[in-house]
Structure 1
């Protein structure tokens, strides 16, 4: 990927070496981090070198009566106005510059606009959220509806204590994994994987590992909107998944219906609460209709935030035979492995390059409990 803003825009901080060299460097770094626990081969899943990002957020910079997209500078000294952004999906790129021109020619759309967020899919759906420092009125809504139709997008307007949804507040992503199509509603301002190409590979890897090493019923913690839960559910008879976000749980249940699945129980609970429930230390009304004693959980997948797992959750998942750990922060993964490798051994590990041109690494490890002789 080539970009005229390399070196000034803070979105891409590693740009001098070619993409393959960057990926090799990340693989070496992950191998070094995991070396106290695992010395085998790490499978690296590469990203497309450009047009890989399905989400993008820009500050709107106003200058001389015109406005443009701006990103924080690499040296953190302020913002730089950008004229291209080849990392975003083609669906976003094909609209963002037309959107900019339409905004600059329309005062009700431009007035006190301070940010624009894009969410796209591989099927060319785009949701645009426009952020304002003023109350949105009927004039804005009329102009925004015209803009929505012109760009073939969905638009949401937001200001303080105000949200206007012109059509839908979600887009529908589609992945084909293991010979089957999976569909996911992805909601505005909710977490979604940013790199759909790598996400598809990540789900495929997790399914392959679960099929080879999975035991008993399946449990997922930090399940989000079912990104892993839904495809993996076909490998197990019973599935239970937890997530603390009410919005994500709503999306997960919608995605179950969208994919015709009936063997998943999605429960809005933190991993700490789920631990207490499994240990019969506390009862929860949110578990009404779910008989935890009927589950013979043998396989667990965790995809925690950057802080990693808490002590209770590490103790809980250590009780299961097979652990799939997806990590967005290998440093906290290594900390958690100090506990998990007391009872389990790492069978294999992988690198998922969700964020090319940055030092960020996404990792996956599969741990199994050694058989008792």
Structure 2
């Protein structure tokens, strides 16, 4: 990647040419798992749709790769073009509007839709005078601006962007809220969604999804199944998922706030108030889809999904995936393994596994 700070800035911890760093990660993965995998590469530049930057001495700053403090940067070629183009202009406008005082960090959120949301985080109270000047920045650049200080969040227009993803021949829209989890690499995210669609295309029946988030996978997957029951523990994610369902006019998905342990109990007949109006016995689940956090699956969740004929598993941590597969392959066979370079120039690698009993 052509970057003035490559090998100095700690954001790119694996500071190698793109193909070399990808091959290194693939080799390590395949050695650990003993399986060949289909590999989905990322764009080598302008691929990241959310990022956080410290502000130090009037500049963007990142931690140095050698750990020796911060390195000042003008902008970052890792981020997608709408953020990359905005970075220097936004900082100059903040200085011109006299909004730099105790500005600690700027967080960016964008996507393939081109919308940008910038959150300005301060170590001081922000007031109406700040709001008036920040509103001028919103209007000048056509972006959304949020101000944060201790215990305060000032939303000038909206606290989300609307992302648009083309999956096959259909466009899906998603509200991505400030401060909530979203897939950081939208180009690879599309490849991940398309992979899950291909793997589940002929399964029929209904789908159970755990860790559904705001419906990133759920909504496209709904076309492959009669009905989908998608669960998640986060209230804010369930709220966004329901909004996204309405945005896309999808009617065969139910989003419910349940933990994986509660899902297990519900499958065994326990009633929950949050399942009011949902008849669990009406589902004919042919597949379970999981996309857990880095810690992977707990024992109870592994026991739940092992009861399903087909398992789709997206993992952001090969080590915990390897641990989980040691148990799941006692009852299931790995039919397909895929790798997604969600985080170029780092040691992180996303994986997808399709298992069948």
What band does the TM-score fall into relative to the shorter chain? over 0.9
Equivalent runs, 1:90-169 vs 2, <5 Å: 90-107=81-98, 109-169=99-159
Measured against aligned partners, the alpha-carbon deviations of 1:263-312 in whole angstroms (never above 9, x if no partner) come to 101001111221122123x4321111111111111101100000000001
Equivalent runs, 1:1-373 vs 2, <5 Å: 1-16=1-16, 18-35=17-34, 39=35, 41-62=36-57, 67-107=58-98, 109-212=99-202, 214-280=203-269, 282-369=270-357
Shift of 1:150: 0.7
- The DSSP-based 3-state class of the residue aligned with 1:131 is strand
The answer to whether the 8 A contact 1:241-1:264 is kept is yes
Cα distance in structure 2, aligned partners of 1:164 and 1:30: 44
Unaligned runs of 5+ in 2: none
The answer to whether the 8 A contact 1:4-1:84 is kept is no
- The DSSP-based 3-state class of the residue aligned with 1:110 is coil
Normalising by structure 2, what TM-score? 0.98
Cα distance in structure 2, aligned partners of 1:122 and 1:86: 16
Cα distance in structure 2, aligned partners of 1:225 and 1:69: 30
Shift of 1:215: 4.4
Shift of 1:76: 2.2
Cα RMSD after superposing both structures: 1.1
Measured against aligned partners, the alpha-carbon deviations of 1:133-154 in whole angstroms (never above 9, x if no partner) come to 1221111000000000111100
Cα distance in structure 2, aligned partners of 1:308 and 1:131: 32
The answer to whether the 8 A contact 2:119-2:148 is kept is yes
- The DSSP-based 3-state class of the residue aligned with 1:143 is helix
The answer to whether the 8 A contact 1:3-1:84 is kept is no
Deviates more, 1:293-302 or 1:306-315: 293-302
Cα distance in structure 1, aligned partners of 2:283 and 2:224: 15
The answer to whether the 8 A contact 1:53-1:194 is kept is yes
Cα distance in structure 2, aligned partners of 1:283 and 1:114: 47
- The DSSP-based 3-state class of the residue aligned with 2:4 is coil
The answer to whether the 8 A contact 2:204-2:226 is kept is no
Unaligned runs of 5+ in 1: none
The answer to whether the 8 A contact 2:315-2:352 is kept is yes
Q: Number of matched residues?
A: 357
- The DSSP-based 3-state class of the residue aligned with 2:201 is helix
Cα distance in structure 2, aligned partners of 1:246 and 1:186: 15
- The DSSP-based 3-state class of the residue aligned with 2:104 is strand
